[in-house]
Structure 1
């Protein structure tokens, strides 16, 4: 029985059905990971390519979980690369070309730093749950199904995320 399911994923018509069913969810999941619709589409499509390339190794009943895990891993690889780029960019301080007061520029920079640090302090799970709930408006049950975890786990991640954000940025 399991072999039949694997063969179904390798069947082009079955794969096309799987793709059609999950491309929107995959793209949205990737969007909440990276925050850019173009990169989100790229991540989702790369994940589907990996599924197609490994269709014989993937149980059709677990393909959805494999899809979201692959998107997450692809995103984490891109983040590693972006950190190198951002570190270089942050070290270079070009001339200030704005007409804003120095106090405003300093306050804005401090707030952005606090916000980035607070988000960076969230675990991957907390960040996913927080963005899916607060940005996408998904219910805990939907998030639990998408991430293949329990609703209690979603609640715990959200609680932890909110606690960290409140501690780090009390003005939010």
Structure 2
């Protein structure tokens, strides 16, 4: 039996596989979905699922299995968050009864435009924009996470801001 055809059930082999892939999987999920804590949880759950299925998964197919599980878990979590956000929005909306209907409509339209504009950004620009504006990370921190220069992050952010301004206008 070739090395790559062996199941991962031997602890040493699983540990080696874990060490070789944990950082790449965590970074991939973090960059794709933008939530560090969620990325850590998803990575942990993915490796647990891999361990539970170690007899069925060979070393050759383990990485694909692992990433597929992580993407599926992240997608499910995002779907759940959207449902939660929808109900939270309804609760907030009921608290805003004292605001004028025009203001509420304008705010809703603006938020839709902003959300759509952010979603339409290229993936790298969206990641940089959200890490900086939502997670309050500095360009230096984003550069370290992304493995690129601060200058590259500045350029990505500049391009993202220009595209957002074009889509929604100056505020």
Q: Which category describes the TM-score, using the shorter chain as reference length?
A: 0.5 to 0.7
The structure that has the greater radius of gyration is 2
The verdict on how the C-alpha distance between 1:59 and 1:118 changes in structure 2, with shifts beyond 3 A counting, is farther
Question: Which segments of 5 or more consecutive residues in structure 2 lack a partner in the other structure?
Answer: 130-141, 149-159
Alpha carbon RMSD of aligned pairs, Å?
3.6
Q: TM-score, normalised by structure 2?
A: 0.61
Question: Which segments of 5 or more consecutive residues in structure 1 lack a partner in the other structure?
Answer: 97-101, 140-161
Residues 8 and 59 in structure 2, CA contact (< 8 A), matched pair in contact too: yes
**Which stretch shows the higher mean deviation, 15-24 or 4-13?**
4-13
The verdict on how the C-alpha distance between 1:47 and 1:65 changes in structure 2, with shifts beyond 3 A counting, is same
Q: Distance in 2 between matches of 1:137 and 1:171?
A: 29
Aligned residues: 137
Q: Distance in 2 between matches of 1:132 and 1:42?
A: 20
Residue by residue, what CA displacement relative to the aligned partner does 1:55-81 show, whole Å, maximum 9, x if unpaired?
Answer: 111121121121111111001111221
Q: Distance in 2 between matches of 1:138 and 1:25?
A: 12
Q: What secondary structure sits across from 2:8 in the alignment?
A: helix
- How far the C-alpha of 1:29 sits from its partner, in A, is 1.2
Q: What secondary structure sits across from 1:56 in the alignment?
A: coil
Residues 113 and 168 in structure 2, CA contact (< 8 A), matched pair in contact too: no
Q: TM-score, normalised by structure 1?
A: 0.60
The verdict on how the C-alpha distance between 1:132 and 1:13 changes in structure 2, with shifts beyond 3 A counting, is farther
Q: Where does residue 71 of structure 1 map in the other structure?
A: 70
